[in-house]
Amino acid sequence: MRGMSILRKPLILRNLWPYFIGIFWFMPNLSQADVELRFQQSDSFWNILSQIQKGAGTLDAANTLLNQTYGKPQAAQVSLLYQPHAIHWDGFDLRELRVDALGYAISSNPVLPHLFGWAGYGPQLTGAWKWLEVYGGRFKGKRANAASTDLIDRSLIESEDLSFFGFGGHALFDLNQLPSLPSQLEIKTRTTEFISNSGESIWHNRWRVQATTDFSKLLVSDWFQTSGILIAGPQPVPGFENQSLVWDYLWNIYPFPDFLSAVGVGAKVEVLPWHIEAQGGFYGGYPGLELGYHPFEHFSIRASTYGIETSAAYQAQGIRIYGASLVFN
């Protein structure tokens, strides 16, 4: 399956380097922007991708491959994000310029197992006027659709150019009714249309409400700073609203899952003298943890692991995502 080689580890940068150079050329000053290099993957993605590329060889091997992905997607994502602090045109702000490379695989149909795989890369631009956001992008990709018998000799590869655009809202509210417990409420929505060169057109919706309460004034300490977080929305994991929009297209995110699948509760603790922070909780039915270290004033390293639900039910088809990032701000 040579077409999926776009996501082989050594080739990721070769596919993305023109976009990387463009972003760094475009950036006016690193001190005036947040820049993040992020990598995420599910636990078995690279092993499965390797098997897809080589071909299963036998019917038993093909069925083994399909069983590994049956009903539970496997995925990986590499991203470079540039979020400027002050680029304005007559009230219109540039919020984010990013490039992503994504891979995804899932099998379905219990009678004749069928594998769907997708790999692609491209840019995404987000602008805003006050609370209203608009965005769009274009990805070049390869998709594979194959039943178990097809995987013995070959996989069916098709090129796909995927364009997308949409709009959404992003608003922040300070809730300071209790001076000792300052809180902030964030509301974010987005509605996106994806258009494939095959003529397929799909709409996806995502929403998120997050409340954060700072306990620093209640628990005064020179060592620690603490806060609590409550999240509502599909896949309620910290930072997941910042995923590539193509993530929604591939994963077919359910906008209104079961109640418990749409709620996440966690806490964040910063150890000030050591420049370390930890954020953990129970998100959509699965435990999650993120660790961060700030060795320098404008640089941090982060590592995370979260469980996410891929269906509309509670704890029905969960998978675990591992991630790491470098952040310059």
Distance CA 317, CA 307 (A): 10
Given this model, what pLDDT does residue 179 score?
A: 73
Nearest to 238 by CA among 211, 217, 274: 211
Identify whether the C-beta of residue 235 lies closer than 8 Å to the C-beta of residue 204: no
Mean pLDDT, the chain, integer = 80
- 146 vs 131, higher pLDDT: 131
* pLDDT tens profile 103-142: 888 776 555 666 777 888 999 999 999 899 999 999 998 8
- Predicted confidence (pLDDT) at residue 286 exceeds the cutoff of 90: yes
Q: Does pLDDT of 12 surpass 80?
A: no
Return the CATH fold of 2-328: Lipocalin (2.40.128)
Give the pLDDT score at 3: 41
- In sequence order, the 6+-apart residues with CB closer than 8 A to the CB of 216 are 225, 226, 227
The larger pLDDT score, comparing residue 34 to residue 87, is at 34
Break the chain into its structural domains and give their ranges: 2-328
Residues 57-79: what's their mean pLDDT? 65
Averaged pLDDT, 302-328: 90
Q: What is the mean pLDDT of residues 34-60?
A: 68
The mean pLDDT value for 21-28 works out to: 57
Segment 184-195 mean pLDDT: 93
For residue 212, is pLDDT > 70? yes
Whether pLDDT at 240 is above 90: no
Q: Residue 290's pLDDT is what?
A: 96
Closest CA to 199 of 163, 167, 229, 228: 163
Judge whether residue 175 has pLDDT over 70.
Answer: yes
| Contacts for 149 with CB less than 8 Å, ≥ 6 apart | 59, 62
- Helices and strands, number each (H, E), in the chain: 5, 15
